[in-house]
Amino acid sequence: MLNFRKLTWQDKDIYTRYYQASPVHYAEYSFFGLMAWAHAYPIEIAETGGALCWLRSGGPLPGIFGPCGNWDAVSDWDAELSHFKPGDLIYDVPSRVRDILSGRPGLSFTEDRDQHEYVYAVKDMTALKGKSYAHKRNRVRAFLTGYEWDYYPVTPDDFADIMSFQEKWRAHRMLTMTPDEADSLADEDRAIQNALDRWGDFRFSGGMLKVDGEIVAYTIAEELDAETIDIRFEKAVPEYAGSYQAINNMFLKEQCQNYTWVNREEDMGEAGLREAKLSYNPAMMLEKFQMEILQEDSRIS
């Protein structure tokens, strides 16, 4: 059995060693990605003494997921898998781990499309060239030509204004939301506050669009590695035509030209979100799978 303990902010250096050793850097598995939501989805970690650690989530969506670490350096997968029993499900298994273990007796894999992460080429998202990006270009142009706007990088001096904007944005959204959806937005507010409170502890950056001195859109992003920036939070006032498309484009253009890839995370199975993410033509998808430990009489011989 895995020996889980609570993951805390003090585990940043310990956990980050596993994450940095991972051949692929999923946004879900970054230390901030785990801890930002720990108030709603508490995380536990189990180290097995090798190249990997496993994670367990509590809260509304309990379960084991992972692993994180250098999957290619594991010399004894039998030892890693011995921690599980028939019937166990492991969630969000990276595609490379699935490839390594595929065909192994006693395991079954199911694609989890809702959890795939969308990755785009920064150069494509900034240039917006070609017919497939025509609508995006028009939306960006609508904002840039329709308002007297200013773009600013986010600094600590802006944190209070960002949370004030966030409060107004959430209050407006809650007018048409269910109680569960409203609770989810409140959890997101806490995650955003976590980012601002720990701005100096991570490789964060962000940008804001202002009209008449007021924030109408902002983004907060985290560097996952030297080539990849992850969009953690992105909000805009939809009444300003093209504001979402403009902050997306302007942030990458102004502050992310040294990156090759931008990760915009998963769509969680929401139809509208999936349509929006696909409309930007992802360069690749970071796939995830569910891994089931089969019952003895169901195992592959």
Domain ranges of the chain: 5-116+287-298, 118-265
Q: What is the mean pLDDT of residues 79-97?
A: 96
Residues 113-124 have pLDDT tens digits of: 999 999 999 999
Average pLDDT over all residues of the chain:
94
Q: Coil, strand, or helix at residue 155? A: coil
Q: How many CA atoms lie within 13 A of 89 on its CB side?
A: 11
Q: How many CA atoms lie within 13 A of 66 on its CB side?
A: 30
Least confident range from 73-82, 176-185, 285-294: namely: 176-185
Distance CA 276, CA 295 (A): 40
* pLDDT above 90 as % of the chain: 89
Least confident range from 93-107, 166-180, 203-217, 218-232: namely: 166-180
Residue 105 has pLDDT above 80, yes or no: yes
Residue among 91, 62, 67 at smallest CA distance from 80: 67
Fold of the 118-265 domain: Aminopeptidase (3.40.630)
Distance CA 67, CA 83 (A): 12
The model's confidence at residue 190, banded by pLDDT at 50, 70 and 90, is very high
pLDDT at 179 (0 to 100) = 84
Number of neighbours of residue 194 by Cβ within 10 angstroms: 18
CA distances from 20 to 14, 26, 52, 185 (A): 11, 10, 12, 30
Q: Coil, strand, or helix at residue 121? A: strand
The model's confidence at residue 298, banded by pLDDT at 50, 70 and 90, is very low
Residue among 16, 110, 6, 1 at smallest CA distance from 59: 6
- Note whether 4 and 56 are within 8 A (CB): yes
Q: Coil, strand, or helix at residue 279? A: coil
pLDDT at 1 (0 to 100) = 80
Architecture of the CATH domain 5-116+287-298: 3-Layer(aba) Sandwich (3.40)
Task: Check for a shared fold between 5-116+287-298 and 118-265.
Answer: yes
Residues 234-288 have pLDDT tens digits of: 999 999 999 999 999 999 999 999 999 999 999 999 999 999 999 999 999 999 9
Q: CA angle, corner 52, sides to 50 and 53, nearest 5?
A: 115
Residue 299 has pLDDT above 50, yes or no: no
Q: What is the mean pLDDT of residues 65-91?
A: 95
Residues 18-44 have pLDDT tens digits of: 999 999 999 999 999 999 999 999 999
Distance CA 151, CA 254 (A): 9
pLDDT at 301 (0 to 100) = 36
Number of neighbours of residue 169 by Cβ within 10 angstroms: 20
Residue 222 has pLDDT above 50, yes or no: yes
For the chain, how many residues are written? 301
Tokens of 183: 């609770």
Phi, psi of 24, deg, nearest 5: -130, 135
Residue 296 has pLDDT above 80, yes or no: no
pLDDT at 293 (0 to 100) = 96
Tokens of 229: 């920036």
* pLDDT above 70 as % of the chain: 98
For the entire predicted model, the pTM comes to 0.94
Q: What is the mean pLDDT of residues 51-64?
A: 91
Distance CA 68, CA 92 (A): 11
Residue 289 has pLDDT above 70, yes or no: yes
Q: What is the mean pLDDT of residues 136-143?
A: 97
